[in-house]
A and B are shown apart, each in its own frame.
Chain A
Amino acid sequence: MAKQYRTAAGATFDVANYIVLTLFGLAAVLPFVYVIAGSFASDAELTQRAVFFIPKTFTLAAYEFIFSTGTIVKSIGVSIYVTVIGTLVNLFFTVTMAYSLAKRGLYGRNLVLNLVIFSMLFGGGMIPTYLVVKELHLLDSLWALMLPGAISAFNLIIVKNFFQEIPKEIEEAGRIDGCSELGLLWRIVMPLSMPVLATFTLFYAVGHWNDFFAALLYINDPEKWPLQVMLRQIVLLSQAAAGDLNSMDPNFVKPPDQSIKMAVIVVGTIPILCVYPFLQKHFAKGVLLGSVKG
């Protein structure tokens, strides 16, 4: 596969390409390295040094603080639950709807598509949506974090388009073999669409992991707060707000240390970063080819 590139121009291109990508990769990741380094540094060091990648004094204090209570650990549990179950819900709703909408002959298809597109552009807003969730008795239930966003219209349309591009012959072959629509979807279309499904699994999972607003609106029970609610709390608590808390006894509440903010970002990011490598293999080439031949 690689042999065709053994030309001088190709080699120059390769070298330039590797350099560009390496630079871009470093630019992307170095600020995060600073955040990681900062999370292990003392607050004094963070005040004094602008940017650094290795802390002079290494301390775990920030992490000890974060994990010393059950609250954050519990909220990580909530986040993982919502992310896993929520993503499955997303995939079910999105794939089924996208599959049927990918059939151009379906009566009423354009009407439904119009509805979907219209809903991307016009929305009722926070309060009307809240009232619907309330009427469905979903308040204070983790389902309120999963159902109201079960389909992203954006994702739906792209998945639908990918489905549309699957060569028709393959489906026809399946049909001749006696597959039902469900069978076609499950045995032929889904395996053929692994890169796409991996992509949207990732998109949905990241969406759930990063979501805090739904939880703030729909969840009153602090026991059910996901991690991001906690993180925001720590990251956004500015000096000014903290100062105002308690001017009656000024030394009572102080803003969280910079190092704790950074540790919190690390804790909130690393788990979701770990999802990617698992999905990455589906981005590899040749999946489609293999299925067609096999």
Chain B
Amino acid sequence: MEQATAQGNLPQASKPAVYRTSIAARLRRDKWLYLLLLPGLLYFLIFKYVPMWGVLLAFQNYQPFTGFWKSEWVGFEHFRLFFENPEFYMLLRNTLLLSFYNLIFFFPAPIILALLLNEVRLAFFKRTIQTMIYVPHFISMVIVASLTYVFLTTEGGTVNELLFQYTGNKIQFLSDPSWFRPMIILQTIWKECGWGTIIFLAALAAVDVEQYEAATIDGANRWRQIWHVTLPAIRSTIVILLILRMGSVLDNGFEQIYLMLNPLNRTVGEVFDTYVYAMGITQGAFSYSTAVGLFKSIVGVTLVLGTNWLAKKFGESGLY
């Protein structure tokens, strides 16, 4: 933290004296800021921290009617069950691989799309495309899965009919395990990529046009402008999103995977989220799913703090 506050571009750097004034004086000086902070702080305390005793359910056999006080305490039993599951490593591998693919292929997609949009000078065209690409975000996953089936099935699916005409072969997109991850990633890109551009476009809107003009005068071509002006402008947004994304590295979007899962691709498709859901059906497993959630959170915290630390090493401002 000290490292960050020592950086030159920070507001207090011009007034190093701040750090030496007494706490009381600082509180008094910033009283308006504290007033502004108060509603948000109260919100977090009431709606996020008061219910947080819920994490203790992970160590119980919690049953809703029996209630928190009377439910049986079981210690680390649920964690043991989870880790000793013979499928644990399969689940971990599938979850991490999918997250990794998401990070490599999906995460950059909205950035690239935003950069492409940013290069469009025809305002009308830009607006039209922007509006078009964010439509899929609103289509429910059930419908997306249903459409995927219509397009990809080997029995008269549009894509396979075309493939068959030109190559004489059909591809088992829906049941071949090697197609599972590409299919999920493509679905995600189709559904969320356009929506994801919004935040980057907002960051780009803040770029000073004079910077482009200056770059042009310096003889920078299109690519160099993107590299030297546009990208740096959204770099901190990218870094923040990346750090925050690390917190949910073990979340894969339950509904999507659940809908695309079948017995033939289960070996690559089953992830923590679908597994916990399946356990929930037979167990009503509040405690079990809380335990798994807790495990995911701990991994998330570690990764977030780790990435944040790395980001700062590389001179980014990070979360703090």
Interface of A toward B, CB cutoff 8 Å: 1-2, 4-5, 7, 9-10, 13-14, 17-18, 20-22, 24-29, 31-32, 34-35, 50-51, 92-94, 96-97, 99-101, 103-107, 110, 112-113, 115-125, 127-129, 131-132, 136, 147-148, 150-151, 154, 156-158, 161-162, 164-165, 168, 171, 180-182, 185, 195-196, 198-199, 202-203, 206, 210, 235-236, 265, 268-269, 272-273, 276-277, 280, 282-289
Q: Which residues of B (265-320) have their CB < 8 Å from a CB of A? A: 286, 290, 293-294, 297, 300-301, 304, 317, 319-320
Task: Kindly state the separation between the CA atoms of A189 and B222 in the bound complex, as whole angstroms.
Answer: 32
Task: Kindly state the separation between the CA atoms of A25 and B194 in the bound complex, as whole angstroms.
Answer: 9
- B127-144 vs A, Cβ < 8 Å mask (1 yes, 0 no): 111111111111110111
Q: Which of the four size classes fits the interface of chain B?
A: 35 or more
- B1-35 vs A, Cβ < 8 Å mask (1 yes, 0 no): 10001000011101100100001001100101110
Give the Cβ gap from B243 to chain A, nearest Cβ, in Å: 9
Give the Cβ gap from B207 to chain A, nearest Cβ, in Å: 7
11 A-B residue pairings within 8 Å (CB atoms): A1-B212, A25-B132, A97-B37, A100-B34, A104-B10, A127-B54, A165-B236, A181-B33, A185-B36, A265-B139, A283-B201
> B40 near A106 (CB under 8 angstroms)?
no
Task: Kindly state the separation between the CA atoms of A107 and B204 in the bound complex, as whole angstroms.
Answer: 32
Q: In the complex, how many residue pairs between chain A and chain B have their CB atoms under 8 Å apart?
A: 270
B residues near A106, Cβ cutoff 8 Å: 30, 33-34, 37
> A93 near B54 (CB under 8 angstroms)?
no
B253 within 8 A of A: no
Q: Which has the most chain B C-beta neighbours within 10 Å: A29, A51, A235, A265?
A: A29
Task: Kindly state the separation between the CA atoms of A14 and B120 in the bound complex, as whole angstroms.
Answer: 8
> A235 near B142 (CB under 8 angstroms)?
yes
Q: Which residues of B (186-203) have their CB < 8 Å from a CB of A? A: 190, 194, 198-199, 201-203
Give the Cβ gap from B251 to chain A, nearest Cβ, in Å: 11
Give the Cβ gap from B141 to chain A, nearest Cβ, in Å: 10
Nearest-neighbor residue (CB-CB) of B31 within chain A = A181
- Given A17-B120, A132-B46, A235-B143, A99 and B132 contact (CB-CB distance below 8 Å): no
Q: Which residues of B (31-54) have their CB < 8 Å from a CB of A? A: 32-34, 36-37, 39-41, 43-44, 46-54
> B150 near A50 (CB under 8 angstroms)?
yes
B206 within 8 A of A: yes
Nearest-neighbor residue (CB-CB) of A166 within chain B = B206
> B222 near A128 (CB under 8 angstroms)?
no
B residues near A129, Cβ cutoff 8 Å: 47, 51, 54
Interchain CB contact (< 8 A) of A50 among B34, B49, B120, B158: B158
Task: Kindly state the separation between the CA atoms of A101 and B37 in the bound complex, as whole angstroms.
Answer: 7
- Given A280-B127, A287-B205, A100 and B37 contact (CB-CB distance below 8 Å): yes
